[in-house]
Amino acid sequence: MLRRFGQVTVLFALLVVEVAAIIVAAPMLLLSFGLGMVFLFPPQVRLVRSLAGLNRRLMQRWTGVLIEAPYLPKPPPPVPQPDGLYRSDRTLYRSPRIPAWNDRWRWLVSDPGTWRDGLWLLLDPLVKPALAPLFILLPERGLRLYALWSDLLLGSTAASRLAGQVSHLRRTRNLATDSQAAEMRRIERDLHDGAQARLVAIGMTLGAVEQLVDNDPASAKALLAKARDASSETLTELRRVIRGIHPPVLAERGLADAVRALAMDSPMHVTVDVDLPHRPEAPVEAAVYFAVSELLSNAARHGDARSAIVDISSNGPHLRVSVTDDGLGGADPAKGSGLAGIERRMSAFDGVLALNSPPGGPTTVTMELPKVLPDHWAGNLPKLPRWKAVTVVVLWGTAWCPTFPQGLVPAVFKTFGIEEKSWFLALHLPGPWQWPTILGMILLGVVMHVLAMRIPASHDRDRGFTDMVPSKPRCS
């Protein structure tokens, strides 16, 4: 029992720290969004998250209630473009420092956990006093109830857990794909060494032919036939493994230049249009590159096509690739044309392949890989209708007034008997009406803050459900 009372004492001692944090964090938040001093927002978030994290750890230690952090995964480090510059929105930077700061700031703003922590910090000074009788009479029950309250606002949600799982699966998938790519490069080196040994042997055979051609023409002819067979075998082996080689242009210059190099080597007239604001990760680039290579090869070899169009574009985090040729058409994945292999390659990234190839052509193959492009945090922010945006701005611009100057501050003055009335509305009313007015102002401010957070969250959730509806691939 004494241990529980000690824990309750610590909990109320932290109440003083929380009130001090509100006094510090609230002006920082107002300056960040009111006066554009955005550099104050990350420290304010770190301050609030540190208190929320301490509360999670204490609740788990005292009550056994595990409160998982609800935060979305951090944005990945900026990736340089082929020219070595870093892009943030439409601006290029030589250093990744500013793009990384921008991504982190947008991540903090767009993370619902940031605002749930702030709401918890704002309401916690009211919840603890409300639970004080239960803390005194039944401290264990009181701590348990308080832990459930903390889990309500500070615990993970289905969306945050799903985002964490997606991030983990993406990392695991990329590791597996990287391992596969490394194995392919090892096999490439081994085969290259084998082909090189064959060529050296052919050179030595030809040298022996030079010595025998005058004195022993029959032996020279036999050696020439042997060299011819060896060269044919070497050429066959090289043609068989050439597709598995990871082209240096892909690693050094990216997907766009690698596909353009494919177009230049193709016997067809190939037009390439690439519009990607961010370079995909290396496994994605490799998958798309080899898929396009296979499609162009099929169009020239099986479809007798003379021209093709390759279009690579993005739709937010989704990558879309379309290859159209003017060949004979009638392509069918069941006939072993390589389309089934491409579909398997795309499925590793949850991608889909749509085929439209009527007899006589043209043939269009469209591949879409969802959420494979680097997250563009500004694009993830909800685009509200104008009336909703105005409502949110008005709520954020006015909610502070009933919450702090007309609510919490008069409550402090009333509690400690400070006679200063200033412009505090409640303190100018008759005594019986002061506390109801103060509590009503605080409640009004809290409701306004909740609405300001719920409107964008609800809009973003509805948009997310729309984005999650898969498009139906067409196959013929």
- 365 inside domain: yes
422: burial class by Cβ within 10 Å (0-12, 13-18, 19+)? Answer: exposed
Residue 112 token pair? 């619902």
Rounded Cα–Cα distance for residues 440 and 426 (Å): 10
The count of structural domains within the chain is 3
Q: Kindly calculate the radius of gyration of the chain based on its CA atoms and give it in whole angstroms.
A: 33
**In this structure, is the dihedral angle defined by the CA atoms of residues 249, 251, 256 and 259, taken in order, positive or negative?**
positive
Residue 128 covered by a domain: no
Same domain, 389 and 468: yes
The C-alpha angle 202, 205, 210, rounded to 5 degrees, equals 130
Question: Is 255 found in the same domain as 224?
Answer: no
Assign residue 351 the CATH number of its domain: 3.30.565.10
Establish whether the linkage from the previous residue to 43 is cis, with ω within 30° of 0.
no
Residues 234 and 262 grouped into a single domain: no
Report helix, strand or coil for 300: helix
Q: Which residues of the chain have pLDDT under 70?
A: 168, 171-183, 186, 190-194, 239-246, 335-337, 375-384, 457-476
Residues 349, 285 within the same domain: yes
Q: Could you say which of 369, 403, 433 is where a domain stops?
A: 369
Cα–Cα distances in Å, from 358 out to 55, 73, 160, 294, 303?
A: 63, 44, 44, 19, 12
Closest CA to 93 of 105, 103, 104, 81: 81
Q: Decide which of 320, 348, 369 is a domain's last residue.
A: 369
Residue 353 lies in a domain: yes
The 3-class SS string of 402-419 reads HHHHHHHHHHHHHHCCCC
Answer with the one of 318, 345, 369 that is the final residue of a domain. Answer: 369
Whether the CB-CB separation of 343 and 320 falls below 8 Å is answered with no
Residue 350 lies in a domain: yes
| Shared-domain flag, residues 351 and 297 | yes
Q: Alpha-carbon distance 435 to 416, whole Å?
A: 13
Q: In terms of domains, do 399 and 431 share one?
A: yes
Q: What is the pTM for the complete model shown?
A: 0.46
Which DSSP symbol is given to 147? H
Is residue 238 a contact partner of residue 193, using CB atoms and an 8 Å limit?
no
- Distance (Å, whole) CA 467 – CA 12: 45
**Cα 368-370-372 angle, rounded to 5 deg:** 110
- Do both 236 and 258 map to the same domain? no
Q: How far apart are CA 118 and CA 103, in angstroms?
A: 21
pLDDT of residue 324: 93
| Model pLDDT, residue 413 | 84
Q: For residue 382, how far is the Cα from the chain centroid? A: 15
User: Could you tell me if 265 and 300 lie in one domain?
Assistant: yes
Which residues are registered as beta bridge partners of 324? Answer: 309, 364
The confidence score (pLDDT) of residue 241 equals 65
Q: Do the domain assignments include residue 404?
A: yes
The pLDDT of residue 239 is: 66
Sequence-separated (6 or more) residues with CB below 8 Å from residue 37: 31
Collapsing DSSP to helix, strand or coil, 319 comes out as strand
Q: Is residue 160 part of a domain?
A: no
Domain containing residue 222: CATH number: 1.20.5
Query: Are 361 and 270 found together in one domain?
Result: yes
- In whole angstroms, what is the distance from residue 355 CA to residue 366 CA? 7
What CA–CA distance (Å, rounded) separates 433 from 440?
11
Are residues 357 and 284 both part of a single domain?
Answer: yes
**Are residues 303 and 361 in contact, defined by beta-carbon separation less than 8 angstroms?**
yes
- Residue 303 and residue 404 share a domain: no
Assess if residue 161 is contained within a domain: no
Q: Does residue 443 sit within a domain? A: yes
Whether residues 296 and 395 share a domain: the answer is no
Return all residues near 287 (Cβ < 8 A) that are at least 6 apart.
Answer: 177, 345, 346, 348, 349, 369
pLDDT, residue 110, reads 85
- Pairwise CA distance, residues 30 & 41, whole Å: 9
Print the domain residue range for 409: 382-476
pLDDT, tens digit, 9 for 90 and up, residues 19-57:
999 999 888 888 888 777 888 889 999 999 999 999 999
Q: What is the 3-state secondary structure (H, E, C) of 160-189?
A: HHHHHHHHHHHHHHHHHHHHHHHHHHHHHH
